[in-house]
Amino acid sequence: MTGSAADITYNYNSRICYQTNGKNSDRSSFSDKVNSKEGEKVKKESQRGTVMADYYARKPQYKATQEKRVESGYSVLSLAGISAEDMEEMSMAEFREKISEVIGSIPHHPSRPYDEETVLISGEGWESMKKDPDYAAWVVGLLKEDRSVNNPFTAMGDKGAFIVQHFGAAPDDYHGVGFSKIYGGTAAGARSMYNAECGKGGITTRAPQADFEPPEDYDLWEERRKKKRRKQKELLDEELQAKYLQRKYLNSLNQRKYFDNKALQGSGSVEDIIGARSRANMMKHTPSGGAASYEALFMTME
């Protein structure tokens, strides 16, 4: 009896000790995991590229402006479900695919419905963006800012623009090219220039109505010639209209003179003259009267 109780007590104490040690071991393991993750995060941050930090060191006067651009880029990436940590953990192929999708989804301002844009990122640029997420956010922020600019000439018939953006290993390497979709006078010539400038392998973005303007056969010089001819026709029509009204007025005067002379040859009284004029006006409203007025006109003009 005593031995059994002692065995039970021993076993119970052993179990308690085992459970307590196991819980302490679990706590220690969880704490180690947290510390390990934090340590990995700190390590990754310490291994991050310093593209933007180096840029700020070179050009501190632009730091505040560029930091806002980086913040704007992170907001776009966040909407796409991409964080700085996600970018670091992606493979290069996955990183390029995801960033390309984000860049292609950035909308154009409503006043730029016809724009077409190609973004070219060099191999060094992709490497820098992958190593320094701030630089990747900077690229995205710049594109967002650029596509948000209002085009005040759309209401005046602007045909849109071709834009090519170049990004390299650092912000200093960035440069952009933009020109009208009818640059040089023809749509075909401008597109040829655009294709030559953007080459292959770029990220192309087209505004919603990019296919509508300009027509493929658009020729600025021909359009100007057509406009000039339309204007000349309008001026000619106005001149003809003026001459017609002038002729009509002169015909009216001649008719009055004719009937006045005829009345004077008859009685010569004022009453007869007024009566002749009244009869002339009435005659104009009948076919025979119109013919008589027509004959009278040419008789007086001879």
Cβ contacts of residue 49 below 8 Å, gap of 6+? 128, 131, 132, 135
| pLDDT value of residue 148 | 94
Q: Are 98 and 188 in contact (CB under 8 A)?
A: no
DSSP H/E element including 22 = helix 2-47
| pTM metric for this prediction | 0.60
The secondary structure of 201-225 as a DSSP string is: S-EEEE-TTTTTSS-TT-BHHHHHH
| pLDDT value of residue 101 | 95
Beta bridge partners, 164, equal 118, 177
Structure tokens at 270: 């004022």
141-144 — which CB contacts under 8 Å span 24+ positions? 141/68, 141/69, 141/70, 141/71, 141/72, 141/73, 141/74, 141/76, 142/69, 142/73, 142/174, 143/103, 143/106, 143/119, 144/72, 144/73, 144/76, 144/106
- Torsion angles phi and psi, residue 162, rounded to 5: -100, 130
Tell me how far apart the alpha carbons of residues 115 and 183 are, in angstroms, rounded to a whole number: 13
Q: Are 190 and 183 in contact (CB under 8 A)?
A: yes
Structure tokens at 85: 């940590």
Structure tokens at 252: 């009216």
| pLDDT value of residue 1 | 43
The secondary structure of 57-120 as a DSSP string is: HH-GGGHHHHHHHHHHHHHHHHHTT--HHHHHHS-HHHHHHHHHHHHHHPPPPTT-TT-EEEEE
For residue 214, whether the previous peptide bond is cis, meaning omega lies within 30 degrees of 0, is yes
| pLDDT tens series, the chain, 302 aa | 444 444 434 443 444 343 434 444 444 454 454 454 454 544 445 456 789 999 999 999 999 999 999 999 999 999 999 999 999 899 999 999 999 999 999 999 999 999 999 999 999 999 999 999 999 999 999 999 999 999 988 887 788 899 999 999 999 999 999 988 888 778 888 888 898 888 888 999 998 888 877 777 777 666 666 777 777 777 777 777 787 888 887 888 777 777 777 666 665 555 555 565 565 555 444 555 444 554 444 444 44
Beta bridge partners, 186, equal 219
Tell me how far apart the alpha carbons of residues 51 and 171 are, in angstroms, rounded to a whole number: 8
Number of H helices, E strands in the chain: 11, 4
| pLDDT value of residue 124 | 95
